[in-house]
Amino acid sequence: MASVSVPTSLDGAKALDCADSLAALRAAFHLPGDLIYLDGHSLGAATHGALARIDDAAKREWAGGLIGSWNDAGWIDLPNQTGARLARLIGAAPEDVIVCDSVSVNVFKLAAAALPLAKNTRVLIVEEDEFPTDQYIVEGLSALADVKFMRAPAGEGLAALRERGGVLVKSAVNYRTAALADMAAHERAAADCGGVVIWDLSHAAGVIDLDLNACGARLATGCTYKYLNGGPGAPAYIYVRDDVAASVRSPIAGWFGHAAPFAFDAAYAPKEKAARFAAGTPPVLSLSALAGALDVFDQIDMAGAAKKTRALGDLCLARCEALGLPSPSPAIGEMRGGHICILHDNGYAIVQALAAAGVIADFRAPDAIRFGFSALYTRYQDVWRAMDELERIVKTASWDAPGFKKKNAVT
CATH number for the domain harbouring residue 367: 3.90.1150.10
The C-alpha angle with vertex 274 and arms to 273 and 280, in degrees rounded to 5, equals 125
Pick the catalytic residue from 200, 314, 362, 382.
200
Domain containing 355 equals 10-30+301-405
**Amino acid identity for residue 46 in this structure:** A
Pick the catalytic residue from 29, 225, 297, 373.
225
pLDDT tens-digit profile of 201-218?
A: 999 999 999 999 999 999
Q: What number is the average pLDDT over the span 277-300? A: 96
How many structural domains compose the chain?
2
Annotated catalytic residue 200: yes
Domain membership of residue 411 (yes or no) is: no
pLDDT tens-digit profile of 166-196?
A: 999 999 999 999 999 999 999 999 999 999 9
Pick the catalytic residue from 164, 241, 370, 385.
370
Task: Let me know whether 179 and 94 are in one domain.
Answer: yes
- Provide the pLDDT for residue 339: 98
Domain membership of residue 323 (yes or no) is: yes
- Give the percent of the chain with pLDDT over 70: 99
pLDDT tens-digit profile of 295-347?
A: 999 989 999 999 999 999 999 999 999 999 999 999 999 999 999 999 999 99
Give the C-alpha separation, 40 to 119, whole Å. 39
Pick the catalytic residue from 108, 131, 348, 377.
131
Annotated catalytic residue 26: no
- Provide the pLDDT for residue 264: 95
Question: Which of 298, 321, 343 finishes a domain?
Answer: 298
Pick the catalytic residue from 53, 85, 226, 385.
226
Task: Let me know whether 293 and 193 are in one domain.
Answer: yes
Question: Which of 248, 278, 298 finishes a domain?
Answer: 298
Domain membership of residue 333 (yes or no) is: yes
| DSSP 8-state assignment for residue 221 | E
Annotated catalytic residue 297: no
Task: Let me know whether 234 and 381 are in one domain.
Answer: no
**Inter-axis angle of helices 78-90 and 284-293, nearest 10:** 40
Q: Is 321 helix (H, G, I), strand (E, B) or coil?
A: helix
User: 120 pLDDT exceeds 90?
Assistant: no
Task: Let me know whether 386 and 356 are in one domain.
Answer: yes
Across the chain, what does the average pLDDT equal?
96
Q: How would you write 119-145 as a 3-class SS string?
A: CCCCEEEEECCCCHHHHHHHHHHHHHH
Q: What is the CA radius of gyration of the chain?
A: 22
Q: Which of 233, 255, 264, 267 is nearest to 76 (CA)?
A: 255
Task: Let me know whether 14 and 107 are in one domain.
Answer: no
pLDDT tens-digit profile of 13-31?
A: 999 999 999 999 999 999 9
pLDDT tens-digit profile of 97-117?
A: 999 999 999 999 999 999 999
User: 3 pLDDT exceeds 90?
Assistant: no
Question: Which of 252, 271, 298 finishes a domain?
Answer: 298
Q: How would you write 143-184 as a 3-class SS string?
A: HHHCCEEEEECCCCHHHHHHHHCCEEEEECECCCCCCECCHH
Task: Let me know whether 242 and 321 are in one domain.
Answer: no
